[in-house]
Each structure stands twice: as structure tokens, then as C-alpha cells.
Chains A and B, each alone.
Chain A
Amino acid sequence: MKRSLILLTVVSLLMLAATAGATEIDFWAMTNAPSDQHYAWMNEKAAEFEAETGIKVNFEEIGWGEIMTRAANAIITGEGAHVFQLGTTQNPYFAGTGGLVEIDIDEFGGADSFFEANLESTTLNGKNYGIPWFAETRALFYNTEMLKKAGVEPPNTYLELVEVGQKIVEVYGKGTAIATAGTNAWDLIHNWAIILWAYGGDMLNPDNTAAAFNSEAGVKAMNYWVNLVATGLADEACAEYNQPQADAAFINGDAAMCFMGPWNIAGIEADNPDLPYDIVQPPAGPFGRASFSGGSNLVIRSNASKDEIKAAKAWVEFLLRPDILADYTKNLSKFLPSNKEALEDPYYETGVWATFVKTLGYATAYPPLVEWGEIEGTVQTNFGNVLADYVDGKYDQNSAQNYLDTAAAEVNEILGN
């Protein structure tokens, strides 16, 4: 009896020592894939990683709507994920709080192995505070059958898009040409930005000290979106959509065109596999084509212990291995890998992917600023106001300019002038 007790004590002590030696880290990623598949994949990879390094990774999925609060709480309390995903536009903010570990990008394959726009989003004042994970960009999806019936080719410029749309409306009726996102979409600003850029505008002035988006290009871009609804090309209901609802209208075959991302392909396959569709690059404006560079980065919390930070870095390195990253982006998230080597996978030369890769080549990112989140919020609110005015019948040719000026004044205040 006594002997077994001693044995038990020794064994449990040994076990305790073993667990004390092993590092355990928490990892948060957003809902990049259907929850069940996402957990299955992550747990499988975590097991592989643990077998390799002895580090245990606990994965948790976070909604996009709550990541700001959750990440802030983790940084504030020192509780929660040691390493987590942040949207490209959120990275600078958290870098500014001092809550993220500064990254030597050479440890992760050097600056050249990532897309420039994505790498830039990890920076603040020239230093890196994250590692690009995957990239996203949008292209114009169109319904081949609807365009054929209307006797038109997919548009090359924004002016053509309107002409094509009118033809479609003649055949299919009001609101069937394009589905756009409205006040409930975070993507509102991205959709506006690509036209702003294509018309030669900029978000901020060159040294990022003042708003520049209330220029003629900005007004044109905003009017362009509102007019899609006002002239009957897009359904009035678009004003209240979030992006997935706009996507759904396209996927359903109720709208002939929609700006969407590669992740929507999975949605088409699941909900309406018979949909005849294809994609083209976003149309060009007078200043050529422009597209939005988004995506996500991986960041490490700085108030973690040294061992945990080391473990977190190893986990990031593991996730970025070209084969693992390509597997994740190909089979789960349907985004594009941020790592050029992973993108060399022949899969990305096929079908619609080639168009996305081409589009990503000239994609523009927002300026990496601590204040970006607030700036985005301001623009979003005022774009929402323009749409609300339209719904109320109060929209006129000055609305866009007025609201953009209001937004610009607020942004200038945020930027400290």
C-alpha cells in the first residue's frame, strides 16, 4: 500500500514536470472556413505540430465582428491568445498599442517572399508587427447566360459596366444587372475605394496627414455606387445588404454581376452548383484598373512569456510552410496565400484563380496607420448616410460631396490637425 502510494507520487511528480516543460499556446483565427471543417483542420495540424515540437496549440475560432474587442482584451488582460489573426487594416492599430511583438521578417523568409501590399499592412513606422497569412482581392463575377441572352460581353471599364447593365435590365427587368452591398457591409468602403483609385483618387495625402478622399474622384466613385441603385441597375434592397446578401442575389441568379472574392466559389458550389458564371478583372477607370488588397496577418502578443513567444513564432512558421499554407487556402479559406512560394502551386494557374492572381498583382492597400480603423468607420458611416438619404428620397448630386467633406473633416480631426 505504502509502496504504491510512493510510486503514485513519483509518477504524478514526473508527469507534472513533463507538463511544466511543455509550452502551451492559444491561437485565434477568424471564421475563415465553416466551423466544423476549420476546427478539424486546425486540430489535425496542431497535433502534427505538437508531435514535431512538443508545443501544444489550442485553437479557437472568433467572429470578425468581435476580433477588435477580443484582441484588445487579450492585450489588456494578458489573457487569451498568444498568437492570433488580424485583418490587414487592424494590424497597425494593435501595433500602436504596444501589444504586439516586433517581427524580424527575415525569420519568416524575408520581405521578398510576401506580396508587398500585405507586408506593408503589418508595418507601423517602418517596423513589422505581424506576418502576412493570406491575401484577398475581389473580381467581377458575371452570369454567362444572362449576359449572353442580353447580347453583351463582360465590361472592361466602369462606363461599359453601366451599358452592359442597361442591356440586362432591358431583358430581365429592374434591379437585375448587379448586386451591391449596402449599409450593413464592411466592404462598402472597399468597393468604393477601387473606383476611387481607378479614377485617380487617393484615400489620404502622400504623407498620410490629411484626408484626400473628398476629391472629385471620391465623389464620382460614391455617386457611381448610388447611381447603380438609382438608375435601376441594382435592386433597391441593396441599400440594406451586407456583402453575403449581395452575393446570395448573384448566386441565386437574380443579378447578373457582383464583385466577389474567391471564397464565394465554395458558396456557389454549395447553394447553386448549376449557376453559369465566370469572372473578369475589375473594370478600368480613366486611370486604369485598381483593386483592393485585403487579407489577414498573424500577430503575436507581446505580454506573453519568452517561451510562449518562441513557441508562437514556431507555430506561425509552421502555418506558413508553403504546402500547409496552400492546403489551408485551397481547401478551407479559399483566400490566396500571401506567400509567393505557396502561390506557385499549379492550382492557382487554373480557371478563375488566374484572374484573381493577376488582380492581386496590382492591388492597393490602405495606409498602415494606427488611426485607420477610426478612419474606415467614419467613411463607412458617411457612406451609410448617403445611402440612407437615397432611400429617403433626399439624395441629390451634392449629397456625396457633402458627406465626404464631413467625413474628411472628421478624419482630419482623427489625424490630429
Chain B
Amino acid sequence: MGKRTPIQNILFYTAIILVLLFVLAPYVWMVSSSFKTTLEIQGMKPSWIPQTFTLENYRRMGKTVPIFKFFLNSLIISSGSMICSVILSVLAAYGISRFRFVGKNLYIVTLLSTQMLPGILFVIPYFVMFTWIKNKLGIPMANTYHGMIFTYTSFALPFSILMLRSYLDSVPREIDEQALIDGCSRAQALFRVIIPLAKPGITAVGIYSFIMGWNEILFATVLTRTDTRTISLGLLQYITQNEARWGEMMAACIISSLPIIILFTLYQKHIVQGLVAGATKG
């Protein structure tokens, strides 16, 4: 990889700029539209820069759709499923990574094959199951936070386990062995030694589950009502049979991207490491 000639340099940076334009242009459109008036948006001349700058969309987005309530719901549900899937996947991934046991391969294959199953396969049974649980056992499941956390945890779990397991595999076994020799129990070795070392992997898994919960709409359509409706579904309510509020929708889109963008900026390194580990060794 020698030095680039000046011409190669120009071509190279042009290519980089083109890639960035391709990536960023839609965001420019989103942000600029969120500051446009309805009149301008519905006009025939779409432009990159608002002709009259307005904050009206930000003021009204919460009135057209209770988007802040949905934001809170999503925060609760996504954080809940993040915590649950981190705990469960740390335990399971540690088990797979550090032990040989009967049925281990079968277990891994099962985990992988759940990735193959279309979500739609589960929606109808979930709906019927939640109805049945409520009718027979009296435990409300549909339209509850715990019901949604349960659902999302379960769907984030297989991939989380696989991702974390490949991360744990990269932590040398000698470290546990040393801890055991030093008199730690297995659990102590896990919590005191391995978990701190696996922090990047765990962060990646946590963020993966969080994003999954934030993104999901298939199950949320069927299993939530206004009390527990998630923000992703809320975003769809700006363009309906009786509204076409593009500007407000763009404003709400920006708001709903914020937590993810913030998480990403804070933990970029960990996310990248985790994703790479999950994909290259899973």
C-alpha cells in the first residue's frame, strides 16, 4: 500500500465524499423538512433548504400523536428487554464458551435455527397464547410492559448468546483458570473476572437488544395498545386515513432516533467490536 499520487488522492477523496453524500443526504432532507411549513412541504417545489423556517412541527408533533408517551413506553420496554437479555445471555454464553456438555451442539444449532424462523410465525400464536394466559390464569400479558419485555427479550436472546459467546471465546481461558486457582468459585470467576473483561461484548449485546426493542413493529402492532404503544408504531400515525403530517413526522423521527444515536456515539467502539465478533465468529 504505497503512497497515493496526487491524482489518486483526488479520486480517493472524491469517492469518500460521494459515499458520505449518499449516506447523509436523506438525513439532510429529514432535518430540513422538519423545519418546513405544511404549505411548503405540500408544495410542488421540494427543496433542500426550508424557505420559511418554522418550529411548528416540533410544537405540534406531540399533539397530533402522543409521541412523548410512546417514547417513554419504548424506553421502558427496550431498557427492560436489554437488562433481561444481557443477564440471560451472559450466563448462557459463559456456559457454552467454557464448558463441554452433552447437547451443546444441539443447543447451538437450536439457537442458530431460531434466527431462521420468520417473526410472523410467532405473532399469531403469541396473540392466541396471551389471550389464553389472560383467560385461564388471569395474568394480563397483552398491552403490558412485562408482556412486551418478555417478547422482545426472547427474540433478542439467541443472537445475543451467539454474539457474546464468540466474544467470550476471545477471552483466554487461562484467566478463569487462574481465578479458580486463586480460590474463586465459578460464579465469582464469572462476575469478578470475566464480566469486566467482556464489557465491550456485553455492551454490544445490550445495545443490540435495545435497538431491537426500539425498532420492532410487527409484534407491537398486535400486542400493544395506546398505554404501551412503542414509538416506532407511533411514527406511523402521522400519515393515516385522516392525516398527512410529513413535517411533524420528520420531527418525531429525529426525536426517536436520538437515544440510539446517543448510545451509538458513546459506545461506538464497543458496538463495532461486538458486531464484528458476532459476525465473523458466530
Chain B residue contacts of A63, Cβ below 8 A: 237, 240
Cβ-based interface call for B63 (8 A): yes
The interface bits of chain B over 227-245 (1 if a CB of A lies within 8 angstroms of the residue's CB, else 0) are 1000000001101111110
Note all chain A residues with C-beta closer than 8 A to B129: none
Q: Is B244's CB under 8 angstroms from A35's CB?
A: no
Determine the residue in chain B with the shortest Cβ distance to A74.
B225
Given contacts A31-B243, A77-B131, 10 further A-B contacts (CB under 8 A): A69-B222, A76-B131, A78-B135, A79-B142, A243-B241, A248-B42, A254-B42, A254-B43, A270-B38, A271-B37
A34 touches B242 (CB 8 A): no
The contact sample of 8 A-B pairs, CB cut-off 8 A, is A34-B63, A34-B64, A61-B226, A70-B225, A76-B131, A252-B42, A254-B42, A271-B37
Confirm or deny: A25 has a beta carbon within 8 angstroms of a beta carbon on chain B: no
The 9 tightest CB contacts between A and B, nearest first, are A244-B244, A248-B42, A36-B63, A252-B42, A64-B241, A271-B38, A245-B244, A60-B226, A77-B131
Partner of A244, one of B66, B134, B227, B243: B243
Q: Is B184 an interface residue (CB 8 A)?
A: no
Tell me which residues from 181 to 231 in chain B have a Cβ below 8 Å from any Cβ of chain A. Answer: 221-222, 225-227
Interface residues in A182-209 by Cβ distance below 8 A to B read: 185-187
CB-CB under 8 A from A77, the residues of chain B are 131, 134-135, 142
- Bound-state CA distance A31–B237 (Å) is 10
Q: A69-B222, A79-B140 are in contact. Are A248 and B64 (CB under 8 A)?
A: no
Q: Is A230 an interface residue (CB 8 A)?
A: no
Residues in B neighbouring A242, C-beta threshold 8 A: 239-241, 244
Chain B's nearest CB lies how many Å from the CB of A137? 15
Counted as pairs of residues, one from A and one from B, with CB atoms less than 8 Å apart, the total is 79
Q: In the complex, which of the residues B37, B66, B140, B244 has the most CB atoms of chain A within 10 Å of its own CB atom? A: B244
Residues of chain B lying within 8 A (CB to CB) of residue A69: 221-222
Complex: A64 Cα to B65 Cα, angstroms: 13
8 A Cβ contacts from B25-79 to A: 37-39, 42-44, 62-66
Please give, as numbers and ranges, the residues of chain A lying within 8 Å of B143 by CB-CB distance.
Answer: 79
- Contact status of A35 and B66, CB under 8 A, knowing A252-B43, A254-B44: yes
Write the chain B residue with the least CB distance to A78. Answer: B135
Tell me which of B143, B237, B240 has the highest count of chain A C-beta atoms within 10 A of its own C-beta: B240
Q: Report the minimal beta-carbon distance from B3 to chain A, rounded to whole angstroms.
A: 52
How far, in angstroms, from A37 to B60 measured CA to CA in the complex?
A: 12
CB <8 Å contact, B64 and A35? yes
Give the total of B residues in contact with A, Cβ under 8 Å.
Answer: 30
**Closest approach, in angstroms, between the C-beta of A259 and any C-beta of chain B?**
15
CA distance A76 to B200 in the complex (A): 46
Closest to A275 in B: B39
Q: What is the CB-to-nearest-CB distance from B120 to chain A, in angstroms, rounded to a whole number? A: 15
Interface size bucket, A side?
A: 35 or more
CB distance from B63 to the nearest CB of A (A): 4
Q: Which residues of A contact B37 (CB under 8 A)?
A: 271
Chain B contacts for A60, CB-based, 8 A = 225-227
Residue of A nearest to B44 (CB): A254
In this complex, what residue of A is CB-closest to B222? Answer: A69
Q: With A and B bound together, what is the CA distance between A242 and B236 in angstroms?
A: 14
A76 to B129 Cα, complex, angstroms: 13
Return the chain A residue nearest B62 by Cβ. Answer: A36
A residues less than 8 Å from B44 (CB atoms): 254
Q: Does A62 contact B (CB under 8 A)?
A: yes
Q: In the complex, A263 Cα to B227 Cα: how many Å?
A: 27
Query: Is there an interface contact between B64 and A185, defined as CB atoms closer than 8 Å?
Result: no
User: Which chain B residues have a beta carbon within 8 Å of chain A's beta carbons?
Assistant: 37-39, 42-44, 62-66, 131, 134-135, 140, 142-143, 221-222, 225-227, 236-237, 239-244
Chain B residues, Cβ within 8 Å of A73: 131, 142
Residues on A with beta carbons closer than 8 Å to the beta carbon of B134: 77, 79
> Nearest Cβ distance between residue B144 and chain A, in whole angstroms?
11
Residues of B within 8 A of A263 (CB): 242
Q: Knowing A77-B131, A271-B39 touch, does A62 contact B240 (C-beta < 8 A)?
A: no
Partner of B242, one of A31, A62, A254: A31
Q: Please determine whether B242 and A272 come into contact, CB atoms closer than 8 angstroms.
A: no
B38's contact among A78, A186, A248, by CB below 8 Å, is which?
A248
A232 contact set on B, CB distance < 8 A: none
| CA gap between A36 and B243 in the complex, in Å | 15
Q: At the interface, yes or no: A369 with Cβ under 8 Å from chain B? A: no
Q: Is A222 an interface residue (CB 8 A)?
A: no
**Residues of chain B contacted by A61 (CB below 8 angstroms):** 226
Q: Is the CB of B242 within 8 A of A64?
A: yes
Contact with B along A155-196 (1 / 0, CB 8 A): 000000000000000000000000000000111000000000
Checking A36, A64, A70, A251 against B240 with a beta-carbon cut-off of 8 angstroms, the contacting residue is A64
Residues of B within 8 A of A251 (CB): 42
Cα-based distance from A114 to B29 in the complex (angstroms): 49
Contacts of B239 in A (CB 8 A): 242, 244
Closest residue of chain B to A261 (Cβ to Cβ) is B242
Knowing A60-B226, A79-B142, the reply to whether A185 touches B241 (Cβ < 8 A) is yes
Q: Quick one: which of A72-115 are within 8 Å of B by CB?
A: 73, 76-80
Residue among B37, B44, B241 with max Cβ neighbours from chain A (10 Å): B241
> Which residue of chain A has the shortest Cβ distance to B243 in the bound complex?
A244
Q: What CA separation (Å) do A63 and B235 show in the bound complex? A: 12
Whether A65 sits at the interface, judged by CB under 8 Å, is: yes
- How far is the CB of B37 from the nearest CB of chain A, in Å? 8
Question: Within the complex, what minimum Cβ distance (angstroms) separates B89 from chain A?
Answer: 32
* Chain B residue with Cβ nearest A176: B44
Find chain B residues with CB under 8 A from A312 CB: none
The distance from the CB of A72 to the nearest CB of chain B, in whole angstroms, is: 10
Residues of B with C-beta under 8 A to A36: 62-63
Query: Chain A's nearest CB lies how many Å from the CB of B114?
Result: 26
Residues in A with CB closer than 8 Å to B142 are 73, 77, 79
Within 8 A of B (CB), among A243-275: 243-245, 247-249, 251-252, 254, 263, 270-272
Q: Which residue in B42, B63, B221 is a CB contact (below 8 Å) of A35?
A: B63
Q: Which residue of A lies closest to B60 (CB)?
A: A34
Q: Cβ of B225: which chain A residues have Cβ within 8 Å of it?
A: 60, 70, 80
Cβ–Cβ < 8 Å partners of A76 in chain B:
131
Q: Chain B residues near A35 (CB, 8 Å)?
A: 63-66
